[in-house]
Structure 1
Amino acid sequence: MNDTKIVPNAVLDKAKKIKLFAMDVDGILSDGKIIYNSYDVETKAFHVQDGMGLVALKEIGIILAIITGRTSPMVARRATELGIHHVVQGRDDKFVALSALAEQLGFSLEECAYMGDDWPDLKAIDEAGLGVSVPNGADIVQQVADVVTIKKGGDGAVREVCELILKAQGKYDDFIQRFL
């Protein structure tokens, strides 16, 4: 995370327990805009730093998941590129999907982080062990989140959360050592 943001110890304690990091797409992995080209093909832009952060979490054993209300081939493609095996598309009942995935994997909700920005994400953020939103998220979603990132969705916000988890679990320095 950006060193200018002070993370409360209670948030760090929650991040230490995370084994599953699930996130929405539109407004989180992307900026929330849905763009169609002249061939009616949907396009999305993803931030490369978010991808590197997710790769880092995967390497330390955190299970990654996408839970999104829309269905998009761009999401499936990005998930494949990042090695995200748990992709739930076309679901507005994010909490139900998160709970089912946690149960399937043998995790408690306390061991799950969920990141979202809009009303369908509200209960998942509230009930997850670590609930995260973004500054461009709905006001009520930000209010129930344990942490709101500095960066906006689609602009490196996911990377902030990845770094928070890596640091809380004592894995950040070891991971970046390979780049020094």
Structure 2
Amino acid sequence: MKDLLEKASKVKMLVLDVDGILSDGKIIYDANGVETKAFSVQDGIGTKALGKYGIKTAIITGRTSPMVEKRANEIGIDHLVQGRDDKLVALQELLKDLQADGSNISAQDCAYMGDDLPDIKALQSVGFAATVPNAHSEVINRVDMVTTNAGGCGAVREVCDLILKGHGHYDDFIAGYVLKSDIDGTDRS
């Protein structure tokens, strides 16, 4: 765990895949051919918390979907890259654009969460790589962390919480959600 916290402490940007990470990986079509996805509210609280403490977020996904754009806006994602099958090239281009805008974020400053073969090169290029327990075995064999929760079920939140802990912000983040008496040990009976 100490090694994971150390890696998390260096993260300046969390980069996420969508299908299998932010969602459960299922693509559901209704009778009219409209695609739907389900997202975890817990993940959204985590990504918003990262933003509160100055840690950037990005999505890189192979598919293009208006619902992903809507969800990215709802949960405070800073950068959205859709329709990109080569995740490594998309990540490199995003980092190049950020550096051109004055950001000093490199691949080693990033955490990346992905679950399938198209994510492997991007996972291998970053300072902190994470996946979900139902990811492809070739992905699991190449990451620093496998979450307890599956994609779409709070897995992103686990990584967000770890990043907050690594940066020393977790207690402050939690303090915003609990009564002061809970923090200072005041008896509520």
Fold shared per TM-score above 0.5: yes
1:174 aligns with 2:172: yes
Which position in structure 2 is the counterpart of 1:164? 162
Identity of aligned residues (%): 58
Residue aligning to 1:3? none
Helix, strand or coil at the partner of 1:28: helix
Q: 1:102 touches 1:112 (CA, 8 Å); kept in 2?
A: no
1:83 Cα shift? 2.2
The aligned amino acid for 1:174 is D
- Cα distance in 2 for partners of 1:113, 1:85 equals 14
Hey, which bits of structure 1, 4+ residues long, moved more than 4 A?
none
Length-normalised TM-score, structure 1: 0.93
TM-score (norm 2): 0.89
Distance 1:11 1:97 in 2: 25
Q: Are residue 66 (structure 1) and residue 59 (structure 2) matched? A: yes
Distance 1:59 1:140 in 2: 34
CA contact (8 A) 1:18 1:112 kept: yes
1:32 to 25, 28, 40: 25
Q: Secondary structure at the match of 2:19?
A: coil
Question: Alpha-carbon deviation of 1:21?
Answer: 0.5
Q: Which amino acid aligns with 1:136?
A: N
Q: Does 1:47 align with 2:40?
A: yes
Question: SS where residue 141 of structure 2 aligns?
Answer: helix
Unpaired runs of 5+ residues, structure 1, are 1-6
After TM superposition, give the deviation of residue 175 of structure 1 in Å. Answer: 1.0
2:90 to 84, 89, 97: 97
Greater radius of gyration (CA)? 2
Q: What are the within-5 Å matches in structure 2 for residues 14-25 of structure 1?
A: 14-25=7-18
Gaps of 5+ in 2: 100-104, 179-189
Letter in 1 for 2:83: G
List per-residue Cα deviations over 1:139-178 (Å, max 9, x = no partner).
0101100111011111110000000000011000001111
Shift of 1:10: 2.0
User: Given the alignment, which residue of 116, 121, 124 partners 1:123?
Assistant: 121
Q: Who is 1:109 aligned against?
A: 107
- Classify the secondary structure of the residue corresponding to 2:22: coil
